[in-house]
Amino acid sequence: MQKYLPYLTFLLLALAWGCTFVFIKIANEFISAEQIAFYRVFLGFLLVAVYGIISKSFDREHLKHWKHLIAIAVLASLMHFLFFAKGTVLLNSGIAGALSGSIPLFAFVLSIAFIKEEHATWVKLGGILLGFFGVVLIANPFNAGAGSANLYGVMYLLLGSAAVGASFVYAKKYIAPLGISVIALTAYQLGLGLLMMIPFIDFTGILNVWSTPKAIASTIIGLGLINTAIASIAYYYVVDKLGAVRASSVTYLPPVIAMIIAVFLLGEEIQTLDYIALALIFAGMLLLREKTASEPL
């Protein structure tokens, strides 16, 4: 059973992240998008910080890298959680989940630009074009009718996805060589992100999440504890046991899971074009993983 635990964790992690957008929609019935982001970062930081203290992951030497820690906090905490929350409340949860599939696309484009070891091939270029064409289909900017997605919501999701993609590239180039433990890094990222997020938050009504079991389940348990704190620790466990390449595949599943939940559990109306768009984004992600000896551009 022990040897299957990393794979079970992998599947549960994908399921948790796929539920993120549903939890945000439910939480928005009680608090604002900005407050949702605040709770995610605040509760996530508390649990990871406690785990870090118990595991003795923190070191004063880490503080000399404060510039890099602030940069990764801006990308992976402040922009990520704020923009994802603000975008999701304006869209169907299934559409929001599908747009999150653009994260690997942004990560690849940025890695080509800033990491020397990364090279573009014709196959990967095709993957980028397919993926972004899928994004355009979802945004459907030429149709302002009832079936089109909210363009502001789409832009927020894309900005959030770009920030996450940029955080992967920044971490690979500047953070990984520092040798900071993943638990400590996650705590610094969430803690600094929390401090930077405070000026953007209107705290009026923020305690509404404690008013009903539904609000507590979606915001405190779903988003704060499971999707942010526990998921962060679980992800690094999967990376340690299965390797970074296999672990990165977990980002492929949440868009599909989000769409399934939206259609079959929430009864959201998803257009045929949106299914095609999701398929294109998914195909684009798969092409980015090709290992063939394709000619570089």
pLDDT at residue 265, rounded to an integer: 82
Q: Cα–Cα distance between 16 and 228 in angstroms, integer?
A: 9
Query: Residues 79-123: pLDDT tens digits?
Result: 999 999 999 999 988 889 888 888 888 888 888 888 776 667 878
Tens-digit pLDDT profile for residues 191-218: 999 999 999 999 999 999 998 999 999 9
**Cβ-contact 218, 99 below 8 angstroms:** no
| Closest of 108, 135, 62, 125 to residue 281, by C-alpha | 135
pLDDT-derived band of residue 146, with 50, 70 and 90 as boundaries?
very low
